[in-house]
Amino acid sequence: MSVIEVKNLHKRYGDRWAVQGITLAVERGEIFGLIGPNGAGKTTLVECIAGLRRPDSGQALVLGLDPQKERQALRSRLGIQLQDSQLPDQIKVWEALDLYSSFYEEPADWEELIVALGLAEKRNDVFARLSGGQKQRLSVALAMVGNPDILILDELTTGLDPEARRNIWQLILDVRARGVTILLVTHFMEEAERLCDRLAVIDGGRIVALDTPAGIVARTGGEQRLRFRPSAPLDEELFANLPEVRRVTRNGDTVIVTGTGNLVQVVASTLAQRQIIAHELRIEQAALDDAFIALTGEKV
């Protein structure tokens, strides 16, 4: 049995569809990512899975239970850390954990969580004085205090500096090593690529790709990217009819041609015909962020 099963789930706000027929299954012990542009429907989907919203149609099952109707049975098995979770400014780290653990019949040992999440030195600090990364660590600790089998993390590392983000990534891997299944909403391609076993790319309330990160990159054709500074002004139309070329963009003087197949040869010979030299030519294999743009048309 899959740990999370979503079948043809629909949810709308007024006459606007936020989620339009999403089907997916998350397996035990996976880190499963939801990635997509702003407003794609990720949070709405996660809220339906967590039982915080009622779908208009379709179904979400968590550990075989209906998250709305059987919320009580799921309460200690599903930990959720939502965007911008706020605590009172003056609550101390240990007090927050103590309070949250009182909500559960069999809570985790929060003293142990404090250490595991690197908050031991902060246990007596008040919430308002924690850094962004420390607040995020605390929110993960609070989501874990019920000893959940499943942890839902929504944009956990948004607003953190690269070092804090890397620390949180390690933390997520450690949590998974304890056997917890993780559903992770993220905006960051690097995060998705490093952490997630599988990913659903969501756009306009629908899944546009569902695969391993490598599979998603391959699915978009294993694109290549050429960057160069042309020796003479270049009309982008020059490449428009070449089947190998998918996109031509510019960054200042630099032209970026993205495509597949014999891209290098085709672009080189087109330039040669016009006697244009490609200065500072670089060839890059596309990664997940290119795949994301190709799938959703969004810039990351």
Site residues, ligand ATP (CB under 6 A): 13, 16, 18, 36, 38-44
Burial class (CB in 10 A: 0-12, 13-18, 19+), 72: exposed
Give the residue with the Cβ less far from ligand ATP, 196 or 257: 196
C-alpha dihedral sign at 141, 142, 143, 148: positive
- Least gap, CB of 71 to ligand ATP (angstroms): 19
Residues paired with residue 157 on neighbouring β-strands, in sequence order: none
- Least gap, CB of 18 to ligand ATP (angstroms): 3
Give the residue with the Cβ less far from ligand ATP, 151 or 226: 151
- Least gap, CB of 83 to ligand ATP (angstroms): 6
Nearest alpha-carbon partner for 247 in 268, 296, 256: 256
Give the residue with the Cβ less far from ligand ATP, 22 or 278: 22
- Least gap, CB of 20 to ligand ATP (angstroms): 10
Give the residue with the Cβ less far from ligand ATP, 84 or 236: 84
- Least gap, CB of 208 to ligand ATP (angstroms): 13
**Residue in this structure with the two tokens 């908050």, named with its chain if needed:** 119
- Least gap, CB of 34 to ligand ATP (angstroms): 8
Give the residue with the Cβ less far from ligand ATP, 38 or 102: 38
DSSP 34-80: EE-STTSSHHHHHHHHTTSS--SEEEEEETTB-TTTTHHHHTTTEEE
**Residue in this structure with the two tokens 């998350």, named with its chain if needed:** 26
Give the residue with the Cβ less far from ligand ATP, 42 or 225: 42
Give the residue with the Cβ less far from ligand ATP, 3 or 45: 45
C-alpha dihedral sign at 4, 219, 212, 12: negative
**5 touches 54 (CB < 8 A):** no
- Least gap, CB of 147 to ligand ATP (angstroms): 27
**259 touches 268 (CB < 8 A):** no
Interacting residues of 11 by C-beta distance below 8 A, sequence separation 6+: 17, 18, 19, 41, 44, 45, 48, 53, 55, 56
